[in-house]
Structures are given as C-alpha cells and as structure tokens.
Structure 1
Amino acid sequence: MSSPPVVLTVAGTDSGGAAGIAADLATIGHLGAHGACVVTAVTAQDTLGVHAVHPVPLEVVAAQLDAVLEDLPVAAVKTGMVGSPEVVAMVADRVRTARLPLVVDPVLVATSGAVLGGRQVVRAYLEHLLPVATVATPNSDEAAALAGRQGTPRELAVALAGRGGAVLLTGGDSGADLLVVPGCDPVLLRHDAVVTSNDHGTGCTHSAALATFLAHGAPLAEAAALAATYTAGQLHAGRRWRLGRGRGPVAHTVVPQEPGSG
C-alpha cells in the first residue's frame, strides 16, 4: 500500500469536537490522507458557543509548523482560525517558501456568533494570506468582512479573487457555491442543500475536504465539487443526531451517504 498524501491543518481546537482541528483531522483521515496539525489557539467551546480563547504564542506556532514541514511531505495546507495577525503573516511566509497548495478558510465568526478574528486579522488576511492562497473559502458574511463592503456573491467573490488566488464563496443551505478563478468567468457549483441544526463545523469540514481532494491531485473545480458533495453527505448523515444543547456537530464518524437516502 502506498503512503497517503499529507494534509496540514493550521487552526484552533474545539473542546466539543465539532469544529477546528477536530473536524479537520477527522475529515482528512476519512478521505484517505494523513492529517498533521498546527494549533494556533485553544478554545473552551461547545455546541452553545465559544466561552474562552487562549492564543498559542507565535514562536510555538512557528515551531509546530517548522517541525511538520521539515519532516513530512506535505501535499496541501489549510488554515482555519489563525489567532493573530502575526501568525497570519508567519504562516503565509512559510507556505510561500514551501510553494504548497493552500486553502484559506477565513474563520472570523464562529457558528455561535463569537468573533474569532478582528480588523487586524482581516487586514493580515488581505495583505499576507490571500495573496498566497490557492483558494479561499469564505461564506457571504466573511466575504463581506474581507471586502470591507456589502455586495452580491459575484461582486464579493470577484473582488476577493483580485487579491490573489481563487475564491470559492460557499452558499451553505442555498445549494450552490460560486467559484471565481482570476481571469476566468465565475462558475456556479450546485450541490444538495441539507436542512439541519447539526451544522457546527461545516466550514471546517468543507475546507479540509477541499484541501484533501487537492492533495489527491484533483483539479480545483473538481475538488470543489467533491468537497461540496462530501460535506452535504456528512450533514445528511448527522441530521437527526442529538448531541449537545445547541447546534450539533457535522457527522465525522459514518460512511458518507447521498442526501435524500436513508
């Protein structure tokens, strides 16, 4: 059996196991890759919200990242919650030097509404991380925050794509994502919409899946379509779960099912 590709996630923890590094590593492994991780922040978090955040010092984040990059043949990187502008700049520099595919999930607001990235982090994304990203995966609120204005999904995605790599504006339960590659016409990627309150960790799961499909060698548009299908399948699989008192976790423990089956 050949060695699996390595996908590195740079993100925060979720003590409830639904989002962040917990979701990323579960997704990466579920899709046949080896997950490595760099912890940027430790959160006290459950299905009701984020109760406390402890950022990991810059030098410790850098040491984790260097340890992985110097030892493992990383095929793709994804970022989630980065914690501080300094960490954003450092990660961007390391990825640029290593010339690795990079999926940027700009985690600015948690599912519960907790703010995880302020104006300085937004500025760091724009100045450092988006220019080296293969693709960024904001939802509409994150896209508006990064663009500094409101607009249609197309307007926001085109504006952000001008900052660097491609933008995959995720549509959530709208049933469509918008992929904008610089210099190309926008492409609407339709997927199944799943109505469920068990959606904590959806963005993390989707971006980790996208990074994993890229690590397996899929072209961007194909990887984006596969990631959307996978995420919809996991949302469907856990739609009737009863875990926690708030918005429950996306399923990470079962074989993917097609939405509408079962």
Structure 2
Amino acid sequence: MANEFPQVATIAGVDSDGSAGAQADLHSFFMRGTYGALILTAAVAGNSYGIHDAQVMPLSFIDSQFKAVGEDLHIRAAKTGMLADSAVINNVAANLQKYDFGPLVLDPVISTKHGNMLLETDAFETLKTVLIPMATVITPNFYEAEHLTGQSLTDPTAIVQAAHQIQAMGAKNVMLKGRHDSSAQTEVKDFVLLESGKSFWLTGAYYDTERKNGTGDTLSAVITAELGKGNDVEDAIRLAKHFVDTAIAHEIAVGHKFGPINHWANALVQPTPDQED
C-alpha cells in the first residue's frame, strides 16, 4: 500500500559542504529508519571555514514544494531549520496550516552556539509570534533561549524559568540545550520541559572538538524521525540526545576546520537513552 513507510520532512536550507542544514537532517532521517522529504528554503555556499554566500528561495517555489510533497507523500512529522526572513517564516506557517505534516519540531535558527545572531529583528519577532505557537517541540540552544526570553541564563534556576517562559509562548515541549563552548567543561546539561509538566535534565559528556557542525540540526531531526514513527516526545528527545553525543564522540576527518559530526557512528553504537539525573 502507498505511503506505509514512515515519511518525515525538513523545511530548511542546504549547505554546500553537507555538514549542516538539510543534509544533516536527511542523514539523521536515514539513520533512524525514516524516509526524508525536503522543502528547500535557502541555499548556502559554505565550507568548514565559514559561510560565503546564500540565496533565499522564492516564496512561489516554496509553495510549489509544499504542494508537491503534500499532495503525494504522507508526512508524519516535520521540522524547520533555516527560514531566513519574515516572509519565509510566514509562508512556511501558512503552508503548515494548509498541509497536514504532523507534529512540528522547531529548531529556531536564531543564533549560533557561540551567540552570533542569524535572524534580523523583524524575522525574530515573526518566529516568536507566528511559528513558536505551532511547535510540538522546540529545541533552542543556550543563546537562542536567552534571545527568546530576554534573560541571562546564569544558573540552573534561570534555565528552568526560561523553559517555562518559552513554553508559555505556545510551544508544547521545550528542550533547552546546554551551553557547550568552553574547553574547561566536562559535561553538557540540557533541560527538558514536557507538555505534561514533567521536567528533567539530560547530561552528556562535553567533547572539546571543532567537528560539531550540524549538531542542532541532527538533534531536532532525530526527534522528528522518532515522532514520525509514532514514538512519544520524551523517548524521542532522550534518543536524540544520545544519537548526537555518539556522533560527536566518534569524529570523522572532513574539511579543514569546523567539520561535521559523524552520523554513521550510530550504526555501530546501540542507543541507550537513559541520561536523567
């Protein structure tokens, strides 16, 4: 029967070196046993040294992609990545209301893991007011959570409060990723707040490596894949955390500087997503 195989989608940009964006999403979908579709929002000319150019897709083309996928495939969960500007965010939100793509995992590409802004102010506000209320799961990094809440996350209490503040914006489940930009670290602690009110910390090792491109994409993509297979949000989040940690721990030498994580390591290491404190 058509469309029995679990299908998921990424609504994102592509990176020319394949380390992040939609390529990282598609690698993750494949590794978690789902078929991945792509709604292309932008194309980035980048490599391990940095981003050198970018093009945003015309809105009419984004519409056409949604129509093509929505009228043929059975998308059971979807995620967002790079959405570029307010016009694209509004377009994506409108299409997600038109086509049933299942639960939405929002990877709010607002700033880098080092705090550099990636969205203009108007697009940031559109993301907050239009797309966050549609999210089944939102996965901000430490700096994105600070931007979203306007608070400095200086201690665990502030992080917990920020997760509740983001949930109050409309996102059902929040995974607030811990800070991981200091060679003095030994671990990374993520905070999870579920729609039920349950909350917990997930702790993983800190890896002092420059090969971490695509970590946020991969985390949200694995959550999406698991939701697309019918797994619950908590199990999806726990498995995604383990998947990313494994991919970082087993490096591959691609590129000269900031290289990609190793999705294929997870074919050799069986997930044991039990990292609750």
Is the CA contact 2:113–2:143 (under 8 Å) kept in the aligned structure 1? no
Q: Tell me the residue number matched to 1:170.
A: 177
Structure 1: 4+ residue segments shifted above 6 A: none
Q: Tell me the residue number matched to 2:88.
A: 87
Instruction: Give the Å deviation of 1:105.
Output: 0.3
Q: Tell me the residue number matched to 1:257.
A: 269
Q: TM-score, normalised by structure 1?
A: 0.90
Q: TM-score, normalised by structure 2?
A: 0.86
**Which ranges of structure 2 fall in alignment gaps of 5 or more residues?**
181-186, 272-277
Q: Tell me the residue number matched to 1:69.
A: 70
Q: Tell me the residue number matched to 2:166.
A: 160
Q: Measured at CA, do residues 66 and 96 of structure 1 come closer, stay the same or move farther in structure 2, by a change above 3 Å?
A: same
1:9-88 paired onto structure 2 within 5 Å: 9-88=10-89
Asked whether 1:219 is paired with 2:220, we answer no
**Which ranges of structure 1 fall in alignment gaps of 5 or more residues?**
none
Q: Tell me the residue number matched to 1:142.
A: 144
Q: Measured at CA, do residues 112 and 158 of structure 1 come closer, stay the same or move farther in structure 2, by a change above 3 Å?
A: closer
Deviations 1:213-246 (A, max 9, x none): 11111111111000001111111122xx332222
CA-based RMSD of the aligned residues comes to: 2.2
* Length, aligned pairs only: 257
Is the CA contact 2:21–2:217 (under 8 Å) kept in the aligned structure 1? yes
Deviations 1:187-233 (A, max 9, x none): 21233443322101100011100100111111111110000011111
Letter in 2 for 1:243: V
Instruction: Give the Å deviation of 1:175.
Output: 2.9
Equivalent residue for 1:100, pick from 99, 102, 112:
102
SS across alignment from 1:230: helix
Letter in 2 for 1:127: T
SS across alignment from 1:88: helix
Q: Measured at CA, do residues 237 and 257 of structure 1 come closer, stay the same or move farther in structure 2, by a change above 3 Å?
A: farther
SS across alignment from 1:17: coil
Instruction: Give the Å deviation of 1:257.
Output: 2.8
Between the aligned partners of 1:235 and 1:257, the Cα distance in structure 2 is 12
Between the aligned partners of 1:117 and 1:80, the Cα distance in structure 2 is 12
Deviations 1:82-104 (A, max 9, x none): 11212212222332342620000
Instruction: Give the Å deviation of 1:258.
Output: 6.6
Is the CA contact 1:16–1:46 (under 8 Å) kept in the aligned structure 2? yes
Deviations 1:112-149 (A, max 9, x none): 87643121121111111110100100011011112233
Letter in 1 for 2:263: H
Is the CA contact 1:75–1:100 (under 8 Å) kept in the aligned structure 2? yes
Which stretch of structure 1 is more off in the superposition, 109-118 or 59-68? Answer: 109-118
SS across alignment from 1:7: strand
Is the CA contact 1:230–1:256 (under 8 Å) kept in the aligned structure 2? no
Between the aligned partners of 2:44 and 2:74, the Cα distance in structure 1 is 29
Asked whether 1:232 is paired with 2:241, we answer no
Aligned-residue sequence identity (percent) comes to 32
Equivalent residue for 1:122, pick from 121, 124, 127:
124
Between the aligned partners of 2:79 and 2:151, the Cα distance in structure 1 is 25
Between the aligned partners of 2:72 and 2:221, the Cα distance in structure 1 is 21
